[in-house]
Structure formats: C-alpha cells, structure tokens
Chains A and B, each alone.
Chain A
Amino acid sequence: MIQTENLTKSFGDHLAVDRLTLDIGEGEVFGFLGPNGAGKTTTIRMLTSLIAPTAGRARVAGYEVGRDDDQIRRHVGILTETPGMYDRLSARRNLSIFARLYEVERVDAQVEKYLKLLGLWERRDDAVGEFSKGMRQKLAIARALLHEPRVLFLDEPTAALDPEASRLVHDFVTELKGQGRTIFLCTHNLDEADRLCDRVAVFKTHLRVVDTPGKLRRQVYGRQVVFHLCGAAEAFLPVVSGLPFVSAIEADAGKLILTLDDPESHNPDLVRALVAAGADIQFVGELRYSLEDVYLQLMKDGVDA
C-alpha cells in the first residue's frame, strides 16, 4: 500500500530523510519511531504529496508521488502534527468544509458519523477555539477520515491526550485496522507503538531497523528468564554458567537473569538444576523489556556506530 524507494529529502544542504526504503502492506499498522527532528513529519509530508521528494520514489495507494499528487490527496487521510482548525468556526462547520473539499457525497451524514464516533457530537456547534487540546486532536482525526481513505497517516495522534482519550484513539485505530485500512503512525509513545503496530521502524534520517515489536525485542535483548530466589543469587552462578543453552547470565541480589534462545524447552532443565543445587525458587518468569528499552538501546547503538 505504501512503497518507498530511496526516498530522500533535503532542505538546502540539510539532509532530513536519507534514502528511505519501505514496503508497507495493505491493512498494516506501521509505527514510525524516531527522536525529535528525525524526519518523521517530513516523510509523512512527502507521502501525502505536501512536499516533493528531492530524490527517490514512492507509491501510495497505487499512485506515484510526484506524478499522481491529486489522486494521492484524494485517497489518503492525514492527521497533521498540529491540528490546525478554524478556531472561530464550529466543530461541525470545520468538518463540513473539509468534507466538501474532499468531495464527500453525503457531507452532513459523514460529519455526523465522525463527530459521534469521536465523542464530539454534543459540542458540535461550539467554536473550536473553545475546545481543549485533546478535543481538537479528536476533531482533527475525524477530519482525516471524512473521505474514508484507505491509507491514513497519523502524526503523533496522542501527543496531547490524557490517558482516557489516548485509549479512545487506540481503540479507534484498532477499529480502523479492522476495517482493513493501512495506517502509518508516527509516535513518541512507544507503549502505543508496541500495542498497536504490526511492525515498527526506528528512523533517524536513515532507516535503522524495521521489524515487529516482538522480534526487535529479541534482536536486542534475546529472551530473558528471571528466577527469584530466596537469598543471594550469586551462589548459583556456577550451576548455570556451564549450561550450553544459556548465552548470558546476570545475578542481582535475589534475582538470576538468564538469556536463552528457547525458554520453553530449557526452563524445566534449569529449574531442576537449580533445585538440585539447593536453590529455593520463589518465582520464574520471562523478563519483558518494553519497546522503550529496545528503542533507547537501538538509539544508543546508533550513536556508537
């Protein structure tokens, strides 16, 4: 649904996006992660035909960026970084203006549908200037959907939202995915990316990695199992250090953290060995790193490299 090939954008001699190559399938929720100034918004702007790439190609929804710009604008929805509403006009008026610009056939029905879906129907006639940040954000999401685009670009959709509103947006994204839409999601909220995205890319001018959140975790940390023991764990280091399937060991007070390829088949052996050596095991569990840890680790590696 979205393919890019060496997509590049420079502003003067400042390189913002460098030879980005991606292939995002239909119905995929694709997370685009990267630090401030990484070029995420610039990438979205290129893919929505708002700015022209300096080099490289991109196809969105079957249309070629640069050649079919008008078609791209018709077929994609975009939530821009700043909602940019007409503050003096009502929520309903704001949406109906955009519905007309997108040549929506049943303007009023579409506007009503999305105002209701995003919980803004009660406030439909209030001037947007009186809205809270979160309400504007929701209105902007509604605006992005009026023409029922198959491809949706969301630039930090939950940046200004409280946990409840964020949850609403998350559920909404899940629902949109359920309808088979392709979603390109820029976010700094790694928890959100972890929960919503089929794949994530870590990007900083260059593409660092692309994979599913689970695989990225494994790639960075392997799979780790933690044993909570009664008493100091150091005593049992010799017991496990000789085992061939343990690739790394860490002992921290009462915790013994082991990195394994295949915990499901090796844990029973480990438990037996530890018990035989006299360990009192309180808990055994898999250590799950958050995507945030993975991300921070990747960024750190990137700086070193």
Chain B
Amino acid sequence: MDKITTIVGKEWSEVFKNKLVLFSVLFLPLILAVIPLVMLFVFRQAGADAALSAELNDPEIAALAGEMCVGLSAGDCTLVYTLNLFVLMFMILPVAIPVTIAAYSIVGEKTTRSLEPLLATPITTVELLTAKIVAAIVPAILATWLAFAIFLVGARLLAPPAVFSAFFAIHWLLAVLVVAPLLTLLAACVAVIVSSRVSDPRVAEQLSSVVILPLILLVVGQAVGLILIDRQIMVLLAVVVLVLDVGLVYLAVRLFQRETILTRWK
C-alpha cells in the first residue's frame, strides 16, 4: 500500500509539472462547466422564449425534444435540451484526462529509462499498475465532479426553476457519479495497455482516445433524438462499462510483462 501511494505521489508531482497535462486536467472540465452556463445566461438575456418559439414550432424539432419537454414552453424546452447534451459531455470528459496522464506517465517512464530501476525494486506488477491507474483516474474524477458541481449550482441559479427541475434527473447523477468514474477507469486501462506498447506519448494518447468514439455516438444519438437517455439506459451503461472494466484490468495486468516492457523498447 505504501508503495502504491509512493508511486501515485511521484506520478502527480511529475505529471502536473507538465503544463499540457495540467491544462487538460484543470481547464477542460472548467471550460465544460462554464460554456453551458454562459449559454444559459445569454439565452435569458436575449429573451430566448420569443426568439425560439418560432423555431420550435417546426414539428421535427418538437418531435426531437419529445418527452423532455412535457408542460414546458418552447424556449425552456430548448434549454433543457441543451443542458442534457452538456451533462453527457461530463461523462465523456473524464475519459480524456486519464488518457493524457497515463500516456505521459508510462511512456515518460520509458523514454527516461526510469522503468528499469523501478522494476528492480520489490514492487509487484499489480502494485505498479494500480498506482499508475489510480494516479490517472483520481484527478480526472475529482476534476469532473468539481466541474459538475459548478455546473449544477450555476444551472440552478441561472435557469428558470421549471427548466432546472425538468432537466435534473437521477440518471444524470448516476451518469456523473457512477458511469463517469467507471469510464475513466476504462480509459485508464486502455491507455496503460496502449502505452506499454508504443514509445511516443502523443501516439499513446491518440490511440487511447478511440475509447471516446462510442460515447460520442451516444451524444449524437441523444442530440438527434435517436436515443432518449433515461435511467434504464444509464444503469445498463453502468453495468456494461463495469464488465468491460473488470476485463480490461485483468488484461492490463496480463499484458504488462515486466520483461517484455523492459527489453522491447530501445
């Protein structure tokens, strides 16, 4: 345990000295929290109701908004729709962060050749991987939660109460509190697996970012009204991701062969 915390501490002091990583961990979530709030603010200032009611008379958009908007004005409905899309972003965002951290931490260890002395110590593979994964996911989860809290508070203050209560639903809490961390773990595992096989952090980052693709499909699906995300879908998603996590953790441990990793990259 002490070894894990030692490595996690080391990762953080190292990785956060990298401006790029620091930026992606801190600023991306904040930006994500601020943009929808700014939009809310602008909508309200502009008297969005009037401006948008015409648009919503368009039957297609009305159909899109569907059950989200029962009993809401057209403008409020647009707001609910927008907020919903942004919460989905809060699920995707934490996936990008651990990928960056893990890519830099593992590939960095390779390029500085510091892995060999590290592997010469009595640390087990499981301890080492746990440390790398924890180091990557904890900042991602915390940053996302913080940003989500800012977003919620801001939305509560800025959005009309009807809009907020129409938007705020259990499945979004489930999304951000449960699914997002599980996805983060998934992304970290993928990044660990990819990083132990390539020698450039940027390549590792890009390859691992493929994890985001299916999630973007989800967002697009919601945006065009193909899927309406509700509690059931979210629970299902949580279960699927959990199963994937278990498999990937196992795979990462299996694939992380000390010897191969030590001798393959030159």
Contacts and interface: CB of A to CB of B under 8 A. Distances in A.
B151 to A, nearest CB: 33
A80 B112 CA distance: 12
B263 A101 contact: no
Interface string B109-148: 0001111111111111000000000000000000000000
Nearest to B124: A70
A100 B3 contact: yes
Pairs of residues from A and B, 5 with the lowest C-beta to C-beta distance, nearest first: A84-B114, A84-B113, A101-B121, A100-B6, A82-B113
Interface stretch (B9-17, B43-51, B225-233, B245-253): B9-17
30 contacts: A11-B263, A48-B120, A50-B258, A50-B259, A51-B262, A51-B263, A70-B122, A73-B121, A80-B116, A80-B117, A84-B113, A84-B116, A84-B117, A85-B112, A85-B114, A86-B114, A88-B17, A89-B13, A89-B14, A93-B10, A93-B13, A97-B7, A98-B117, A98-B121, A100-B2, A101-B6, A102-B121, A102-B122, A103-B2, A143-B117
Interface of A: 11, 45, 48-52, 70, 73-74, 78, 80, 82-89, 93, 97-98, 100-103, 140, 143
Contacts of B122: 70, 73-74, 101-103
Contacts of A78: 117, 120
Nearest to A103: B122
- Residue of B112, B115, B118 ringed by the most chain A CB atoms within 10 A: B112
- Residue of A50, A78, A93 ringed by the most chain B CB atoms within 10 A: A50
Contacts of B13: 88-89, 93
A243 to B, nearest CB: 57
Contact of A50 (B3, B17, B112, B119): B119
B262 A86 contact: no
A101 B6 CA distance: 7
Contacts of B124: 70
Interface residues of B, number: 27
A61 to B, nearest CB: 13
B10 A86 contact: yes
Contacts, number: 76
A11 B262 CA distance: 13
Interface residues of A: mostly helix, strand, loop or mixed?
loop
Contacts of A101: 3, 6-7, 118, 121-123
Given A86-B10, A89-B14, A100-B6, A80 B263 contact: no
A203 B262 CA distance: 23
B120 A80 contact: yes
Nearest to B262: A50
Contact of B113 (A70, A80, A88, A100): A80
Contacts of A45: 262
Contacts of A51: 258-259, 262-263
A84 B119 CA distance: 12
Given A50-B119, A84-B112, 4 more contacts: A73-B121, A78-B120, A80-B116, A89-B13
Nearest to B114: A84
A103 B6 CA distance: 11
Contacts of A98: 117, 121
Interface in B30-89: none
Interface string B231-259: 00000000000000000000000000011
B10 A89 contact: yes
A118 to B, nearest CB: 16
A89 B9 CA distance: 11
A300 B2 CA distance: 52
Contacts of B3: 100-101
Contacts of B112: 84-87
A50 B116 contact: yes
A102 B122 CA distance: 6
Given A86-B14, A100-B2, A73 B120 contact: yes
Nearest to A77: B120
Contacts of B262: 45, 50-51
Nearest to B18: A88
A48 B115 CA distance: 14
Given A74-B122, A80-B120, A102-B121, A97 B114 contact: no
Contacts of A73: 120-122
A82 B266 CA distance: 12
B150 to A, nearest CB: 30
A101 B117 CA distance: 11
B182 to A, nearest CB: 30
Given A100-B3, A101-B123, A88 B14 contact: yes
A264 to B, nearest CB: 48
